[in-house]
Structure 1
Amino acid sequence: MRIYILCDDSSLGDFEHEHGFSALVDSVLFDTGKSSVFLKNAERFGVNLPEDVVVSHGHYDHVGGLLLLTGKRLWIRKKALKPKYSGDRYIGAPFEWEEVLSKNETRFVSEKVVEIKPGVFLMGPANLRNRVFSGEFLVGKERKIDLFEDEQTLVVDSKGGLIIVTGCSHRGIDNIVLDAVETFKKKIHLVLGGFHLLRSSEREIEDIVELFNKIDVKTVAPCHCTGKKAVDIFKERFKGNLLECRAGVTFEVSN
């Protein structure tokens, strides 16, 4: 199985980048960044986009490219369609959802875990455990605190263990990996995507690395919203492998 990073905040060589995330995970497109960057980079890779498209959550930097897709099968939670804000700034979809939904087949996900292809699952929203949300991110016309009930994670059950692909991990990357272990009762081979640790303290990040070590996560590929401080702490303290994640990077994983 091969994973292509189609969009990230940085890139290799001639590949383009933007603030956003998109990855082609075998036969599933996970997120679309905020513009056409994911399409341009897919063309540079020489790969075709698959029928199945997963939306991790409803922020513009993960759904913006959906407007460019036609005839796909979208896997999305209904709450991703609600207006989203960061304080007073609108950060939801930069289009009318009906325009996207009418051009594609939509599968609204309501189950905690659903198998969308043999060995390929969507899981979420993660159990919050003791996580407490501030008022930074808001949702709906009432602008309530966003608990990210639309957030979902891609989990691939591979020979070497679970492959976990996240968008932004707003409900906690620690909660996501714990849910995966508890749900599938298997070791984790790779955690790839945005870990959303930009504003986390060193202690909080160290606790997450300690958890990853404790449950024996083999490899991490922090992308997008993880932050340099968190990547540096992973480099220093994580006992497994740390892979660079940029647009233009590919990863080979044994099925």
Structure 2
Amino acid sequence: MAKVVVIGGSGLIGSKVVAKLAEHGHEAVAASPNSGVDTITGEGLAEVLVGADVVVDVSNSPSFAAADVMEFFTTSTSNLIAAEREAGVGHHVALTIVGTNRPQHIDYFQAKVAQEALIRESGIPYSLVHATQFFEFVGGIADTSMKDGAVHLPGNLVQPIAAEDVATAVARTAAGAPLNADVEIAGPEQMGLDEWVRRALAFRGDAREVVGDPEATYFGARMEERTLVPVEGAQIFATTLDEWLPANPPRS
């Protein structure tokens, strides 16, 4: 069985990936600043990668400001790749986003594009897992889309996925041979971005009105209708919004 180091291993996806890999007999190591591993400064990287066969990167920037998120993903990934070369790691798996290779002007996506390029050009065998938006972020999307007392969102299509399914896809990829390619994953249902948030808020008894607004932006940017949905051939997971909502009440 493999030693797999999960960068961001204490977070939403990372903790689930560590658990799934461990269940299947792999030595899964959760690496994060909390465990003394900092990919920005490089602290602890050499030590944690000793004997590692695979590195999984599901880390995220603490700030989504344009300059901050670009600095995070380029610095973190560059340091990680350098440490992997020294350690002889044979497979780099990174979680990224559906839509980074399509027309869009989202600062966060641009930072992920830069991260992806560093990985592809590193010479280390890799797999890039592009996920659609997570069900878990529906509340945050509503909160950041408030305008004049209502949630304003466009009707651009989304195909959201449960974090549990994302973790399953990432863990499976880490346990397999490098793809040296990209794979897309998504949930089973396409719907408008406004419809998704409206359904979730209604189920949770949140009285905020959701306004379908074609002029509204998504994290400050406008997109084409299908930027956020997967291409043909994507891996489709089964968890629906109606199944996910009862098991995931909003955090107080």
Q: Which has the higher strand share?
A: 1
Instruction: Give the TM-score normalised by the residue count of structure 1.
Output: 0.34
Between Structure 1 and Structure 2, whose CA radius of gyration is higher? 2
Q: Which has the higher helix share?
A: 2
